[in-house]
A and B are shown apart, each in its own frame.
Chain A
Amino acid sequence: MENKNLLEVENLRVYFPVHRGTLIKKKVGEVKAVDDVSFKILKGETLGLVGESGSGKTTAGQAILQIEPPTAGKIIFEGKDITGLEKNERRKLRREMQMIFQDPFSSLNPRMKIGNIIEEPLIAHKLTNNRKENKERVEELLQMVGLMPSMAERFPHEFSGGQRQRIGIARALAVNPKLIICDEPVSALDVSIQAQVINLIEEIQEKLNLTYLFIAHDLAVVRHISDRIAVMYLGKLVEVASRIDLYRNPLHPYTKALLSAVPIPDPRLEATREHIVLKGEIPSPMFPPSGCRFHTRCPEAMPECSSRIPQLKEVDSHHFVSCHLFKD
């Protein structure tokens, strides 16, 4: 493939310091939310980022947008390192990357009309010349996400969850971004509405040639929408593969367990399917296990797993896994 990388993330680390004490604050430790994560996103592709709560997937997304400054590592967008940019430069960057948030109820200002919410990025980035152009662009965006132009005069509370998510998408599209980070965009929606929003996200990708980083915990949704999928566990990538490879031939024990934990809406299939039930729960990221972070729950753990940290390596063409079961 000759596709160019739109985004490269190299050895990204995001640590949050943990303080104790009220007056004299003392750093007592740190939460390694994202710890040495590298991946690439090709132009026009959708990379799915899955993991359970506390895996660091949202933090990784926020670090790319520089909402959460990375502790270390590089984020290369269109060949340019964008970590540690000046405020002005960072602002310009926001035109290239946008985000769609999980909760459509708290991500829209309840006191602003829909039209104003969508035109705000236009004004902030001076993308239009006058009010008339603003209005036209807002109408165009509303139509693009399947809403009526007349809805610009209404307030967020007048809309349902699915419609609000459409508004959030319109706002993200306003600046004509190249990359959109979708952070759990459908998990707060009802089942019958999820499909509407997923279809919309797919349609606008095709129409506008967008690139997505799609963060979610629902593996069925991620599989549906992504070209490639990266699986995270406790701040580390455990497996990266194409959508088909990952589901047909999962290699990492965690990926296997994760896939088998998702029930399929087919009772006959479920009756015969193997269910891997993991023991215990995801450990605290403040005190991650030594060696491979999954070894405490891994059904196939070996002695070396608790001492040596496995590295992500390519074991099959474009199929990366970080596990001692696979030798180079």
Chain B
Amino acid sequence: MAKLLEVKNLKTYFLTDDGLVRAVDGVSYDLEEGETLGLVGESGCGKSVSALSILRLIPYPPGKIVDGQVIFEGRDLLKIKEEEMRNIRGNHIAMIFQEPMTSLNPLLTVGRQVSEPLEIHQNMKKKAALQQAVKLLESVKIPEAELRAQAYPHHFSGGMRQRAMISMGMGCNPSLIIADEPTTALDVTVQAQLLELLKGLTKEHGMSLIIITHNLGVVARYANRVNVMYAGRIVEMGSSIDIYENPQHPYTIGLMASVPRMDQDVKQKLIPIEGQPPDLANLPEGCPFHPRCKYAVEKCLHETPVLEPVDKNHKKACWVDIKSGK
């Protein structure tokens, strides 16, 4: 498989009243064609900002991509002109946002919104694009698609809106889809419907998918590889089997132990991660996780760890070897 996307040392900072916020601070990873990557972390860990940075959708000011490369199909997206970037967005890389209500235009019919990228990127005539939009809405299983295309977003339920968003993303047959918490606001059964749909469609068309989520279960079900983020950095990356069966970073280990699992039989006590999530404007020196880490040693207080391989394709950013405790 060929590499579709390479993110190298990406840094996105925000200048706020509280000081400089390093939302994404030196993130590097690759994505191969046809692969599904899960980006996991809690709120404020930089997972959404790192994805928005790929599409250069960071509002300036206060945000700015200060360093790094995003190489997509051989081109550095951070260096190309805005015009070329517009041709990438929605056409080669599509994004599915968390809140379909706020990301759809309430004044335009759903059909119009789904057909718009087709007109812009595929030079389709208005009528042909609208017909194509109906087909797309059918492909995401919206009943009576022809009629529904004339409806406005507020006529749709949350799940239907997100289906419309997915059909919009699929429209131009992009090679990469970034789904930012696509199902967080939805009910479990609707969440399952949508994720199955997304997985089916990306597989059918050979698209790559980045799923951004805080839900460890969703990642286990759908992703081949996982990046775990904490305080703007990737702290562990590997195949989903590596991450779930052999987690190496104390944060990943802590996350796994803190969620109740449906397949555990007994009333096991949860082991929470102590302390509070980090304040990005006020990060501690050294490893940002050290104040909450039970394995922390002297070195962690002063030096920031970098990603080092633990195994083939499995990396962690931690000074301590968990097994030996050193």
How far, in angstroms, from A258 to B262 measured CA to CA in the complex? Answer: 12
Question: B22: shortest Cβ distance to chain A, in Å?
Answer: 19
- A130: interface (CB < 8 Å): no
- B191: interface (CB < 8 Å): yes
Q: Mark A228-262, 1 if CB is under 8 A from B, else 0.
A: 00000000000000001001000000000111111
User: In the bound complex, do residue A265 and residue B269 qualify as a contact, i.e. CB atoms below 8 Å apart?
Assistant: no
Which listed residue, B193, B220, B265, B277, touches A263 by the CB 8 Å rule? B220
On whether A195 and B273 interact (CB within 8 A), knowing A262-B188, A262-B217, A270-B221, the answer reads yes
Residues of B within 8 A of A219 (CB): 188, 262
Contact residues of A between 293 and 308, Cβ < 8 Å to B:
none
The total of chain A residues at the interface (CB under 8 A) is 43
- A278: interface (CB < 8 Å): yes
Contact residues of A between 11 and 64, Cβ < 8 Å to B:
52-53
How far, in angstroms, from A191 to B261 measured CA to CA in the complex? Answer: 13
Closest to B266 in A: A244
Interface of A is mostly: helix
Residues of B within 8 A of A198 (CB): 260, 270
- B160: interface (CB < 8 Å): yes
How far, in angstroms, from A277 to B268 measured CA to CA in the complex? Answer: 29
On whether A265 and B217 interact (CB within 8 A), knowing A191-B259, A220-B262, the answer reads yes
Which listed residue, A52, A193, A244, touches B189 by the CB 8 Å rule? A52
Contacting chain A: which of B53-61, B94-102, B172-180, B250-258?
A: B250-258
Residues of A within 8 A of B270 (CB): 195, 198-199, 224
How far, in angstroms, from A52 to B269 measured CA to CA in the complex? Answer: 26
User: In the bound complex, do residue A281 and residue B259 qualify as a contact, i.e. CB atoms below 8 Å apart?
Assistant: no
Closest to B43 in A: A190
Closest to B257 in A: A195
- A217: interface (CB < 8 Å): yes
Best-buried of B190, B196, B254 by chain A (most CB within 10 Å): B190
Which listed residue, B189, B240, B268, touches A257 by the CB 8 Å rule? B189
On whether A278 and B193 interact (CB within 8 A), knowing A265-B256, A267-B220, the answer reads yes
- A209: interface (CB < 8 Å): no
Question: A296: shortest Cβ distance to chain B, in Å?
Answer: 12
- B244: interface (CB < 8 Å): yes
User: In the bound complex, do residue A191 and residue B241 qualify as a contact, i.e. CB atoms below 8 Å apart?
Assistant: no
Closest to B188 in A: A261
Q: Mark B264-278, 1 if CB is under 8 A from A, else 0.
A: 010111111110110
User: In the bound complex, do residue A281 and residue B160 qualify as a contact, i.e. CB atoms below 8 Å apart?
Assistant: yes
Closest to B44 in A: A190
Contact residues of B between 268 and 306, Cβ < 8 Å to A:
268-274, 276-277
Which listed residue, A162, A190, A262, touches B262 by the CB 8 Å rule? A262
Contact residues of A between 260 and 292, Cβ < 8 Å to B:
260-270, 275, 277-278, 281-282
Residues of B within 8 A of A275 (CB): 192, 196
Question: A118: shortest Cβ distance to chain B, in Å?
Answer: 21
User: In the bound complex, do residue A195 and residue B272 qualify as a contact, i.e. CB atoms below 8 Å apart?
Assistant: yes
Contact residues of B between 181 and 202, Cβ < 8 Å to A:
187-193, 196
Question: B246: shortest Cβ distance to chain A, in Å?
Answer: 12
How far, in angstroms, from A199 to B43 measured CA to CA in the complex? Answer: 21
Closest to B159 in A: A281
Question: B157: shortest Cβ distance to chain A, in Å?
Answer: 6
Contact residues of A between 180 and 221, Cβ < 8 Å to B:
190-196, 198-199, 202, 217, 219-221
Closest to B251 in A: A192
User: In the bound complex, do residue B277 and residue A193 qualify as a contact, i.e. CB atoms below 8 Å apart?
Assistant: yes
Residues of A within 8 A of B254 (CB): 192
- B218: interface (CB < 8 Å): yes
Question: B278: shortest Cβ distance to chain A, in Å?
Answer: 11
Which listed residue, A53, A221, A268, touches B260 by the CB 8 Å rule? A221
Which listed residue, A162, A195, A263, touches B217 by the CB 8 Å rule? A263
Question: A37: shortest Cβ distance to chain B, in Å?
Answer: 20
Closest to B217 in A: A263
Closest to B194 in A: A277
Closest to B157 in A: A281
- A107: interface (CB < 8 Å): no
Best-buried of B265, B270, B274 by chain A (most CB within 10 Å): B270
User: In the bound complex, do residue A190 and residue B214 qualify as a contact, i.e. CB atoms below 8 Å apart?
Assistant: yes
Residues of B within 8 A of A202 (CB): 269
Question: B126: shortest Cβ distance to chain A, in Å?
Answer: 31
Residues of A within 8 A of B258 (CB): 191-192, 194-195
Closest to B270 in A: A195
User: In the bound complex, do residue A217 and residue B188 qualify as a contact, i.e. CB atoms below 8 Å apart?
Assistant: yes
On whether A270 and B220 interact (CB within 8 A), knowing A220-B262, A258-B188, A278-B193, the answer reads yes
Question: B83: shortest Cβ distance to chain A, in Å?
Answer: 39
Question: B125: shortest Cβ distance to chain A, in Å?
Answer: 34
Which listed residue, B190, B221, B257, B265, touches A281 by the CB 8 Å rule? B190
How far, in angstroms, from A53 to B259 measured CA to CA in the complex? Answer: 22
Which listed residue, A194, A221, A261, touches B192 by the CB 8 Å rule? A261
Chain B contact residues, CB within 8 Å of chain A = 42-43, 157, 159-160, 187-193, 196, 214-222, 240-241, 244-245, 254-263, 265, 267-274, 276-277
Q: Please name the 5 residue pairs, one residue from A and one from B, whose CB atoms are nearest each other, closest first.
A: A263-B217, A195-B272, A224-B260, A195-B258, A261-B192
| Chain A to chain B contacts (Cβ below 8 Å), 8 pairs | A53-B187, A191-B258, A192-B42, A195-B258, A225-B260, A265-B259, A267-B241, A270-B221
* 17 further contact pairs, Cβ within 8 A, besides A163-B276, A262-B262, A265-B217: A162-B276, A191-B42, A191-B258, A192-B272, A193-B277, A195-B257, A195-B272, A195-B273, A217-B188, A224-B267, A257-B189, A261-B189, A263-B217, A264-B262, A270-B217, A278-B192, A278-B193
